[in-house]
Amino acid sequence: MTKVFLIRHGETDWNVARRYQGQTDTDLNANGQAQAQKLITVLAGQPFDHIYSSDLKRVMQTATYAGIPEADIIQDPRLREIHFGKFEGLTHAEVAEQYPDDLAMWEDDRENNIHGGEKMSEVITRVQSFYEHLRDDFNDGERMLCFAHGGTIAIFLSVAMGVDPHKWWQFLVENTGITEVNLYDSGTLLKKFNDTHHLD
């Protein structure tokens, strides 16, 4: 059994504007920095055997504002957000106005990467690889801390809990929400989901 703590990055200006962010390397805004700093009260004194992060800035910034030394973090591109191609930087309304046909084709079939980003199967494959790494490659009882994105955390949970990962949107994770799972060979125990009490 492996204990895994998953934390979504703090707020960015694109989150506020509800823009497709994907793999565009945005920074935390002032509120996102404050959210991440509040994680210190939750994480202080907790032992972790390994600490992982997406290599995108907003996630690494979240980890460091949360008190994690950068030298202790393993940056893993498998934890990157879904790549939305030419939709990135635009709101859904702007995409619908500028690329109506492309949007309709993509929403009808997420294996269609007409936007120039990733197919859903590609995202699922890389996140599943990371999940299997945590489940299979460590000693019993080790504790993992992972800073990532809302989309990749949702796909990780879908894979871990046997839910169709194409329905990842059923797991809504908020900025700096904390999710805790125990990974067993036989399945996954969800102990905590999207805990944001540190923001109160």
Segment 25-34 shows an average pLDDT of: 98
Instruction: Give yes or no for a contact between 179 and 188, defined as CB atoms under 8 angstroms apart.
Output: no
Question: What confidence tens digit (pLDDT) does each residue in 156-188 have?
Answer: 999 999 999 999 999 999 999 999 999 998 899
Segment 127-144 shows an average pLDDT of: 94
Mean pLDDT across the chain:
96
Work out the pLDDT band at 139, boundaries 50, 70, 90.
confident
Active site residues per annotation: 9, 81
The answer to whether residue 35 scores a pLDDT higher than 90 is yes
Which DSSP helix (H) or strand (E) runs through 136? helix 120-136
Instruction: Give yes or no for a contact between 137 and 120, defined as CB atoms under 8 angstroms apart.
Output: no
**Distances 95 to 92, 104, 109, 136 between C-alpha atoms, Å:** 5, 10, 16, 40
Tokens encoding 198: 């540190």
Q: Side by side, which strands form the sheet with 187-195? A: 73-75, 50-53, 143-148, 2-8, 178-184, 187-195
Question: What confidence tens digit (pLDDT) does each residue in 87-125 have?
Answer: 999 999 999 999 999 999 999 999 999 999 999 999 999
State which fold the 2-12+33-78+123-199 domain adopts.
Rossmann fold (3.40.50)
Predicted structure pTM score:
0.96
Q: Where are the domains of the chain?
A: 2-12+33-78+123-199
Q: How many residues in total does the chain contain?
A: 200
Of all residues in the chain, the percent with pLDDT exceeding 90 is 94
Question: What confidence tens digit (pLDDT) does each residue in 97-106 have?
Answer: 999 999 999 9
C-alpha dihedral sign at 131, 127, 50, 10: negative
- Helices (H) and strands (E) counted in the chain, each on its own, are 8, 6
Q: Nearest to residue 110, comparing CAs of 149, 151, 78, 77?
A: 151
Work out the pLDDT band at 147, boundaries 50, 70, 90.
very high
